[in-house]
Structure 1
Amino acid sequence: MKLSKHIITGCLLVVITMCACKKDERSPLSKDKTAPDPIRNPQVTNLAGAALITYTLPGNENLLYVKALYTLNGQQKEVKVSMFQNKLLVEGFGNTDERVIDLYAVSRSEIMSEPVSVTIKPLTPPIVNVFKSLKTDSTFGGINVKYVNADSANIVFEVLVVDSAGDWQHVDFNYTSMKQGAFNIRGFPPVERTWGIYARDRWDNHSDTLKVKITPVYEEALDKTRFNDVRNSFAGFIPQFDPLPNSGLNMVNAVDYSGSYPMRNLYDGNHTSMFHTKEKYDLPVWIPIDLDKSGASKFVLSRFKIWQRTGAYIFNHGNPHHWEIWGTNKPNVVSTDPNNTDPNTGWVKLGEYVMTKPSGWEVGQNSNEDVQAAAGGQEFELPNGIPAVRYIGWKNIDSWGSIDGFTGFFHLFELSIWGQKK
């Protein structure tokens, strides 16, 4: 009995060894070498930078898929669709030139049919339409670029400037799939220079280059070491006007959540430290800041940038959703006029903002573009013509975790502000 067991075990080992030694060779699904019949009745619908081709499938039982072969930017491309579909999309064309697409029915043995050729003529590609829509203007510290991207195509804008030697130099990239939008390139002195902007898609098609001469508007980053927390000093003087937003309760003193999240973290230059108010406070929450504790300067504000609390909290929790920026030079005076425009007679509303997600998705669901937008900081401009102020008040109307809510809280990693000193 023991001998039989040893013999059986030995045989099994030999079989296993032989199986292990065999090459793992992939072979066609079928040994039928018959070529399938070609597809029939191809119909072309030309699209923006693309074409949709429909057809009638052959009746061969050994059909596996349909393949399109064509040349794109000097390289051969192929598109495959299964035997359960009767259409395929060819895309990535950077102009409206006519092109020939060869279509093949392919068997389970990877045998191709005779080709059926169709001619396509793509409509104007997205990068061309986007390029035609570009509008530029000077802005604080740089250039503002507006665009329309009706096809929601994945577009990359590259911005260039001409240097002192007359050569083009890369400045920045801007990625988008939004139907329309704008972006700013900052950090330049108020000197006229030549700018270039062009659009590029994921197939490396390039639009023409828009060339413009623009002089950036002067601005400087405010020195955050001169900022000061004045919540307790002027809490009772921050205005509330009927009808009050949300709860309507006069919560003016946003208290730190704990000693770990003090208000100085809001402007300490560290994008990982956090200011966090106590939770379940009545909204709106007011956060007043002295922009120059020495009292020497006032500022015409041009823009500000905020960095959300990141991780699982982006576009959620206590990150701001809807807020206003107010300003004054007399923080202990309250005007009875909600439309007051003189910062020397009370608080003046400087701007109102609602944060939007690039993806437009629901709270709790974030795209890669959402994550990148939050991590890189989000910039907001103040309107032209606002007065110079020494004090600002951030009026947090609601946060992402309590949109249109009556209670909530507020947190941010960092706030930076730019403007002109007066």
Structure 2
Amino acid sequence: MIMNIKKYILPCLIVLIAGITACKKNNGFNAIISEDKTKPLAISNIKIDNFNGGANITYDLPNSPNILYVLAKYKINDNTARETKSSYYQDTVVVEGFAKEKPYEVTLYTVSRANVMSDPVTVTVNPLTPVYLAVRPSISLSPDFGGVSVIADNPLKKQIGIVVMSYNKNTQSMEIEDQHFTKDAKINYSVTGFASVERQFGVYITDKWGNISDTLQKPIIPLYEETMDKTKFNLLNLSTDSQIAYDWFTRYLWDGKLDGDGWHTASGVPLPYSCSFGIGKTYKLSRFVVYERIGDRYTYKFGNPKEFSLWGTNSSTPDNIRLPVRADEGAVIGNWVNLGNFRFPDPPSGNLPSASNSADEDFVKKGVSFKVPFTAPSVKYLRIAVATIWGNEAAAHLIEVTPYGIPE
């Protein structure tokens, strides 16, 4: 099988690589204003502290006011060279991104404010196992509703990429289906949208420097699920739910329009911000996709939910009871059961929510899928209860919700 990797992975690494090149900026450095062309002395008293995929190199600077920074040059693999700078205010330069656990040479220079380099000093670092390779042995693939489940351990909580592939009969090659970047210690997510027929799946680990592990491949038959028929949904009017504002009614959550109105609570209503609706018949839920409000003013801002719970009941007469702001999964309030507690992912760019970018907006626009625990009971009514939002407002809003499951 041919694996078409590069044409898919490179565009998705652009945002991450942009962060890497930031190490070349002179933030905190003096401007190059000196006319002194004297070659600076080299650093001395060098010490090395190795870590996973890199090393901290500490040193003593020459006693000169003309020093601008220390420059480290090194190769992280057979093809990729990197440079890292450290201001003269610092006594440490960090080198990282090495592809393997083996010795690497690093060449160090002192650079003056006239941009004159010292004689080189070469040291050898011995990085520990890179994180992407440390995670690789723990990764597994298993069937999930409409796709595959990926589970792995990332105890160092360093950012890695999980890349899921599947075999395409038309191209007769393994092609990338999804790329998931995370710092989570416990990785458990699904890639969905597949029919319940056997298909070859694969997964590998990458990092922000473009290093790639070997690929785990496995034939898998996704579990059956179906998109719920939203024409069968109906509003459940409960006085204990949040008051509506701006004519953004609960029924807009299933109108199929991602660029129109949605559900919006009034400002200042008590937590949790909640709404309720029927899904037509009893389903064993597998997952649901949430579409939050987007735009410069709203993406990761305003009343978009950050932490929320999904409640359900299979009773024909759902209790009109106020839900708690927080409760354990499986908790029962009246005849409502907590089906799961969820948190909307942070901006994939790594930026603060207040500084989300166009890539983050594209991520939100596509909708975010949340898995419902397999132990959750079958239900025919749902309630969304929002505990926290991304902004500072006292209200919540959503554009669309699409549940999936097995009808009963």
Q: Does 1:394 align with 2:383?
A: yes
TM-score under structure 1 normalisation?
0.74
CA distance in 1, matches of 2:169, 2:272: 50
Does the 8 A contact of 2:339 with 2:376 survive in 1?
no
Confirm or deny that 1:328 pairs with 2:332: no
Unaligned runs of 5+ in 1: 1-26, 236-250, 336-340
What are the Cα deviations for residues 70-93 of structure 1, in whole angstroms up to 9, with x where unaligned? Answer: 223324432232333322111110
Deviation at 1:163, TM superposition (A): 2.9
Displacement of 1:218: 0.2
- Counterpart Cα distance in 2 of 1:54 and 1:394: 56
Structure 2 residue aligned with 1:83, among 85, 88, 112? Answer: 88
Amino acid at match of 2:282: K
Correspondent of 2:251 among 264, 269, 275: 264
Higher mean displacement: 86-95 or 105-114 = 105-114
Percent of aligned positions that are identical: 30
The residue identity in structure 2 corresponding to 1:268 is: D
- Measure the CA separation in 1 of the matches of 2:32 and 2:310: 66
Say if 2:305 and 2:389, in contact at 8 Å, map to a contact too: yes
The answer on 1:381 being equivalent to 2:399 is: no
Q: Where in structure 2 are the equivalents of 1:22-421 lying within 5 Å?
A: 29-60=33-64, 62-73=66-77, 74-164=79-169, 166-231=172-237, 235=238, 251-252=239-240, 254-258=242-246, 260-272=247-259, 273-283=261-271, 287-292=275-280, 297-311=281-295, 312-313=297-298, 314=300, 316-317=302-303, 319=305, 321-331=307-317, 347-349=335-337, 351-355=339-343, 357-358=345-346, 365=354, 374-389=364-379, 391-394=380-383, 396=385, 398-400=387-389, 410-421=396-407
Mapped to 2, the partners of 1:145 and 1:308 lie a distance apart of 25
CA contact (8 A) 1:359 1:366 kept: no
Does the residue aligned with 1:291 lie in a helix, a strand or coil? strand
Q: Which moved more, 1:77-86 or 1:98-107?
A: 77-86
Q: Is the 8 A contact 2:318 2:336 kept in 1?
A: no
1:133-171, Cα deviation, whole Å (9 max, x unpaired)? 323321110011123333443322221112337521221
Where in structure 2 are the equivalents of 1:2-13 lying within 5 Å?
none
Kept in 2, the 8 Å contact 1:316–1:399? The answer is no
The 1:334/1:91 distance shift into structure 2, 3 A limit, reads closer
Gap change, CA 1:35 and 1:195, over 3 Å in 2:
same
Give the SS at the match of 1:256. coil
Q: Is the 8 A contact 1:286 1:393 kept in 2?
A: no
For the pair shown, the structure with the greater C-alpha radius of gyration is: 1
Alpha-carbon shift at residue 265 of structure 1 (Å): 0.8
Measure, in 1, the Cα distance between the counterparts of 2:389 and 2:228.
Answer: 28
Over aligned residues, Cα RMSD in angstroms?
Answer: 3.6
TM-score by length of 2: 0.76
Per-residue Cα deviation, 1:252-307 (whole angstroms, up to 9, x for no partner): 3555325x312221110112321223444455566332322xxxx53222111222
1:386 Cα deviation (Å)?
A: 4.4
* Contiguous gaps of at least 5 residues in structure 2: 1-30, 322-329
Corresponding pairs, count:
361
Q: Distance in 2 between matches of 1:212 and 1:160?
A: 10
